[in-house]
Amino acid sequence: MAVVLSSVAEICTRACVASRALARTDTATKNAALLAIAGALRARMVEILDANELDLLAGREADIGGALLDRLALDEKRVEAIAGAVEAIAALEDPVGEVIDEQRLPNGLDVRKVRVPLGVIAVVYEARPNVTIDAAALCLKSGNAIVLRGSSSAAHSNAMLSSIASEAAVQAGLPEGCIGLVAGGGRDELAELATQDGLVDLLIPRGGEGLKAVLKDVASVPVIYAASGNCHLYVDASADLEQALAVIVNAKTQRPGVCNAAETLLVHKDLAATFLPRALAELIAAGVELRGDGRTLGVAEEAGLSVKAAVEEDWDIEYLAMTLAVALVDSTEQAIEHIARHGSGHSEAILTRDNASARAFQLGVDAACVYVNASTRFTDGGEFGMGAEIGNSTQKLHARGPIGLRELCTFKYLIEGAGHVRV
């Protein structure tokens, strides 16, 4: 069972001890543990949903809003999807021991660069209880121990899920302490977790800019930020307009409370009269509140559509709600410049039939994921064939985009000789 101890240091110490055993655990044992976790989630579905309902009741009383409630909510379909993701991770190739590069040096030494676990990974996340299992499964498969720290809004759900996962993993042969849960200490506890030098090898915060700012002030362990997604869609003058409309509606409305949902729509000025009114009307009909620049307001007024005037801050907001900023731009280069000023480096998309525009966008936009004629909603470890993800990194070093099995590993050099000495 995932034991919540009084001290963050004790939890991390247990994880550190477990990580040394996990690094030597064979693939079959790790896979058996993951399949046991998936089975336990299905078998204890009622307990999971009862715990989740306690969190939902508290969330409604606290009036946390529809988007957060959606991210918090579990039902049978979502729990089944979580269990299915665990099974998908079990079916993936084990990254541990993978030979990245190898060579024989002129002096006869054989050098191999192989993938190895990082050790102890701490994951801090907000609202979404599915991260408890996704993160634990990815860490165990990649040979890492994990320390989980969810938000108070999902306390009951996280406690139940981590307990179920830990019990199943240990019974299947993984070491005690391989899944640890930290809960209930507020920012002081978060700061303590972020300063466990020598015990925590990597901290991954999955949340908004507020969480990122808090950790930047205190963290002394290595951090990969799975941060916000201020994602853009740009409709080029040459776009297939039917295709573009479908992508826009999907990227904004399919699940607006997630980091890969579109937050800004940029439209080429040549489409102002022919396409923009239709796109605005479709979005409004879908329940989206629109905030437009001056030129967009003019088009909306002529078409009799209700669009609010955007203020400067609107271009930088990750709404996570049914709100979308809209602007007309003069060219692909201007769209790229807008994204450079306001984007968060998460996911950006262009809708176009012009190869030169597509290539310019791919080369010019600095983001983890750059799409041509596809919705930003595909930025997801599961969609990318990783089984699941811990989050989406908007950084450039070590890991970028969905954080999956290989991103949870480092490497070492293994050198074999025959009594070689350096002269």
Domains, the chain, with CATH or none: 8-224+390-416 (3.40.605.10), 231-378 (3.40.309.10)
Extract the tokens encoding 198. Answer: 């020598």
Average pLDDT over residues 180-184: 87
pLDDT, the chain, mean: 94
Tell me how far apart the alpha carbons of residues 145 and 119 are, in angstroms, rounded to a whole number: 6
Give the DSSP H or E segment for 203: strand 202-206
| pLDDT single digits (tens) 231-251 | 999 999 999 999 999 999 999
Q: Is the pLDDT of residue 188 over 90?
A: no
Closest CA to 408 of 192, 98, 73, 59: 98
Q: How many helices (H) and strands (E) does the chain have?
A: 14, 16
Q: What is the mean pLDDT of residues 341-364?
A: 97
The Cα–Cα gap between 201 and 6 comes to 21
pLDDT of residue 271: 98
Q: What is the mean pLDDT of residues 264-292?
A: 98
Confidence check: pLDDT of 257 > 70: yes
389, amino acid identity: E
Is residue 128 pLDDT above 90, yes or no?
no
The DSSP code sequence of 274-293 is TTHHHHHHHHHHTT-EEEE-
- Give residue 71's pLDDT: 85
Q: What is the pLDDT of residue 5?
A: 47
Could you give phi then psi for residue 13, rounded to 5 degrees? -65, -45
Mean pLDDT within 345-373 = 97
Contacts of 158 (CB under 8 A, 6+ apart): 129, 132, 148, 150, 181, 183
Checking if the pLDDT of 323 tops 60, the result is yes
User: In this predicted model, what pLDDT tens digit does every residue of 36-67 receive, in sequence order?
Assistant: 999 999 999 999 999 999 999 999 999 988 87
The one-letter amino acid code at 258 reads V
How far, CA to CA in Å, does 62 sit from each of 2, 154, 209?
28, 13, 21
Average of per-residue pLDDT across 15-33: 98
Residues in the chain: 423
pLDDT score of 3 more than 90: no
pLDDT-derived band of residue 329, with 50, 70 and 90 as boundaries? very high
In tens, the pLDDT along 62-115 reads 998 887 898 899 999 999 999 999 999 999 999 999 999 999 999 999 999 999
CA distances from 213 to 216, 217, 218, 341 (A): 5, 7, 9, 20
- State the Cα–Cα distance between residues 325 and 295, nearest whole angstrom: 13
For the chain, what is the largest distance between any 2 Cα atoms, rounded to a whole number of angstroms? 84
Q: Is 80 exceeded by the pLDDT of residue 186?
A: no
Q: What's the start-to-end Cα distance of the chain, in Å?
A: 55
Predicted structure pTM score: 0.86
